[in-house]
A and B are shown apart, each in its own frame.
Chain A
Amino acid sequence: DGGITQSPKYLFRKEGQNVTLSCEQNLNHDAMYWYRQDPGQGLRLIYYSQIVNDFQKGDIAEGYSVSREKKESFPLTVTSAQKNPTAFYLCASSIYREGQPQHFGDGTRLSIL
């Protein structure tokens, strides 16, 4: 079955540590996205990538970094510069064509110890 796999499902971080969230897709989609979801709020875009070796900042990129070395993979690093990292992180992918929906993984919940 094709889909998007995010790992781990739960992640704990000590203050001052960087952590990397994994996102892999086997849908052969060109574009990939990272969103952050906080309680009672909608999703906010962190970074997105339309093609390998290229990515753009979203609305809340500060304190985060990404790479896109392979079409299938789009890992997100939450750096120690992100002052409030506790949230639910969602990865998505889509065919890069007008009107095409994004498909989401099951998310990673990050908490600070």
Chain B
Amino acid sequence: GNSVTQMEGPVTLSEEAFLTINCTYTATGYPSLFWYVQYPGEGLQLLLKATKADDKGSNKGFEATYRKETTSFHLEKGSVQVSDSAVYFCALLDTDKLIFGTGTRLQVFP
């Protein structure tokens, strides 16, 4: 079946460092892909999405490119801030259901 694999955390960075959180997927066809962010004690917020191969989703300085050759959707940000500390989830849309990775905790220190 379809699945999503994320790198294990926590990822610990200093402010202004470059961020990469790896996400790979297994799927039949080309599902839509998403990154969600969860701040402590809150629900998930949609961060960005891509609906077809080679699409690049972007929002708030974060980017991810839908790579069908490597079945990947890695999340990147050029300069992280303390306020980016959260848990990040990669997900794919399987017909009408979201399949999530296990989440990656990001900790950014001043």
The chain A residues found within 8 Å of chain B, CB to CB, are 4, 6, 31, 33, 40-43, 45, 48, 50, 58, 90, 92, 96, 98-99, 101-107
- Minimal beta-carbon separation of B89 from chain A (angstroms): 6
Could you tell me if B49 and A42 are in contact, using CB atoms closer than 8 angstroms? no
Q: B97 contacts A42, CB within 8 Å?
A: no
What size tier do the contact residues of chain B reach? 20 to 34
* Chain A residue nearest in CB terms to B51: A99
Contact A106-B46, Cβ < 8 Å, known A31-B96, A41-B102, A42-B103 = no
Q: Knowing A42-B103, A98-B32, A99-B32 touch, does A107 contact B43 (C-beta < 8 A)?
A: yes
Interface residue B34 (Cβ < 8 Å from any Cβ of A): yes
A44 CB, min distance to chain B CBs, angstroms:
8
B residues 18-54 near A (Cβ < 8 Å) are 32, 34, 36, 41-46, 49, 51
Whether A101 pairs with B49 at a CB distance below 8 angstroms is yes
Determine the distance from Cα of A58 to Cα of B96 in the docked complex, in whole angstroms: 11
Whether B34 and A106, one on each chain, are in contact in the complex, defined by CB atoms closer than 8 angstroms, is no
CB distance from A17 to the nearest CB of B (A): 24
The residue of chain A having its C-beta at the shortest distance from the C-beta of B33 within the complex is A99
A28–B74 Cα distance when bound, in Å, is: 32
User: What residues of chain A lie closer than 8 Å to B44, measured between beta carbons?
Assistant: 43, 90, 92, 104
